[in-house]
Amino acid sequence: MVTRLGRRLIAIEQPILAEHGVTMWGYIVLSALAALTDVSGDGEPVRTQAALARAIGADKTRIIGVLDDLQERGYIERRPDPADRRVHLLALADAGREVHRAVRAAIRREEERLLGELPAEDRAAFLRVLGQLQA
pLDDT tens-place string over residues 26-36: 999 999 999 87
How much is the pLDDT for 123?
Answer: 92
Which pLDDT belongs to residue 11? 95
pLDDT for res 46: 61
% helix, strand, coil for the chain, step of 5:
65, 15, 20
Question: 23 is in which domain, residue-wise?
Answer: 2-134
Q: Which residues on adjacent β-strands are paired with residue 82? A: none
The CATH number assigned to the domain holding 53 equals 1.10.10.10
The string of pLDDT tens digits covering residues 37-84 is 644 455 555 678 888 888 898 988 889 999 999 999 999 999 888 888
Number of domains present in the structure of the chain: 1
User: Please, which pLDDT band fits residue 110 given cuts at 50, 70 and 90?
Assistant: very high
**Quick check: 135 pLDDT over 70?**
no
pLDDT digits (tens, 9 = 90+) for 92-104: 999 999 999 999 9
pTM of the model: 0.84
Residues of the chain with pLDDT > 90, as a percent, come to 61
Contacts of 68 (CB under 8 A, 6+ apart): none
